[in-house]
Amino acid sequence: MITKPVLAALLLVMLLPGRHVYAGQGADSLSIKIGQMLMIGFRGLAIEDAPEIVEDIRKHHIGGIVLFDYDVPMKSPVRNIANPEQLGKLTVGLQGISDIPLFIAIDQEGGKVNRLKASKGFPRTVSALHLGNLDNPDSTIAAARKNALTMRAGCINMNLAPVLDLNTNPDNPVIGRLGRSYSADPAVVTKHALLTAAVFREEGVIPVFKHFPGHGSSTTDTHKDFTDVTVRWTEKELEPYRAMIDAGYDDAIMTAHVFNRRLDSRHPATLSKKTLDLKLRNQLRFEGVILSDDMQMQAIAGHYGLDESIRLAVQAGVDILLFGNNTAYDPAIADKASSILHRLVREGSISKNRIDRSYQRIMKLKERFIYYCK
């Protein structure tokens, strides 16, 4: 079990100022602020293959991109990642066309959820479950270091990991069966997630804890449909978040699309003001960036229109709206999302002050971490 002094010491390491500070552009237009709230997925192994994402960066000022190794709609292994050399050229090229440095994000958890695969020339990885079962800090640190150095070599500055979900349902099709959770014990999860995140930060990679308020107890997959965790979910699933936030963690947390009547009887967590603003912001006191899970997953897209889901997510407290473009593919999604946000501001459904708060949190995180990679 991790002790409070050890927890505090690790968080101190995690919260040291970044070595590469971005001074900012002094940008203040609404278009740029809205653009920074969007993270978009795309098709292409090179910039020349992806005119849509180039336009999204230059015209819509999107703040981040997310990379995949497999194109789900096309059932194709050709997406964004072919080998280390190609990946580096792609990411450096994308950064080069953006006035504000991009978050370049990936799901590199290790084990089965692993975008940088050995078959494409990257180092092998192990799962969170494997590390939790070993329960050896040195093993976890070594695995995290290997992952972080691989990402940094590819100029990836954000990892959508580690997972804080508890392995309360080993038959969970999207968490337990894939070995994505360290343990059913929140103390074990906290210890290994914290060790992993500390190493990521040391190497200039932003850790993103997920999936708040807990996906480990689900019995269905939010990629495919509505997922209700009300019966199985317990407050215990909040313990890893509470421990780290209490110790000062303020980087980024990703939401879950799960429906939990104990927290909100109307909306899933990503769209729930009670879950994000009341629970995560006000009760747990999280001050960092809130990142949505993919807004095109069927738990959201299958039950809400695009306008409504964007409005509810931002009103709930989401700072970055993630459109992975890998459940469904829409080359115009950045344009659509940007237009919707502009209209919601004009209509008064979302205030300029609300946009400003997200922009400030996003830029604070970029200033702490983003470095120019060559």
Say how far apart CA 28 and CA 166 lie, in whole Å.
Answer: 41
Average pLDDT, the chain: 91
For the question of residue 251 being annotated catalytic, the response is no
User: What are the residue ranges spanned by the domains of the chain?
Assistant: 30-369
- pLDDT higher than threshold 60 for residue 20: no
Say how far apart CA 144 and CA 346 lie, in whole Å.
Answer: 45
Residue type, 178: L
Query: Can you tell me the mean pLDDT for 74-96?
Result: 97
* CA 247 from centroid of its chain's CA atoms: 21
Q: What percent of the chain has pLDDT over 70?
A: 90
Contact 105, 160 (CB under 8 A): yes
Quick check: helix, strand or coil at residue 323? strand
CA 265, 271, 277, 280 torsion: positive or negative? positive
Among 241, 257, 147, CA closest to 193: 241
Q: Tell me the per-residue pLDDT of 202-228, one tens digit each, with 9 for 90 and over.
A: 999 999 999 999 998 887 656 766 688
Q: Tell me the per-residue pLDDT of 321-370, one tens digit each, with 9 for 90 and over.
A: 999 999 999 999 999 999 999 999 999 999 999 999 999 999 999 998 86
Task: Give the CB-side neighbour count of residue 4, counting CA atoms within 13 A.
Answer: 2
Catalytic-role residue among 251, 264, 293, 319 = 293
| Whole-structure pTM value | 0.91
DSSP collapsed to 3 states, 62-122: CCEEECCCCECCCCECCCCCCCHHHHHHHHHHHHHCCCCCCEEEECEEECCEECCCHHHCC
For the question of residue 293 being annotated catalytic, the response is yes
Say how far apart CA 279 and CA 187 lie, in whole Å.
Answer: 21
- pLDDT higher than threshold 90 for residue 28: no
Contact 317, 273 (CB under 8 A): yes
Phi, psi of 41 (to 5 degrees): -95, 160
Say how far apart CA 316 and CA 280 lie, in whole Å.
Answer: 10
Q: What is the pLDDT of residue 371?
A: 65
Superfamily designation of domain 30-369: Glycoside hydrolase, family 3, N-terminal domain (3.20.20.300)
Quick check: helix, strand or coil at residue 219? coil
Give the confidence band of 18 by pLDDT, cuts at 50, 70, 90: very low
Catalytic-role residue among 60, 215, 223, 257 = 223
Q: Tell me the per-residue pLDDT of 139-195, one tens digit each, with 9 for 90 and over.
A: 999 999 999 999 999 999 999 999 999 999 999 989 999 999 999 999 999 999 999
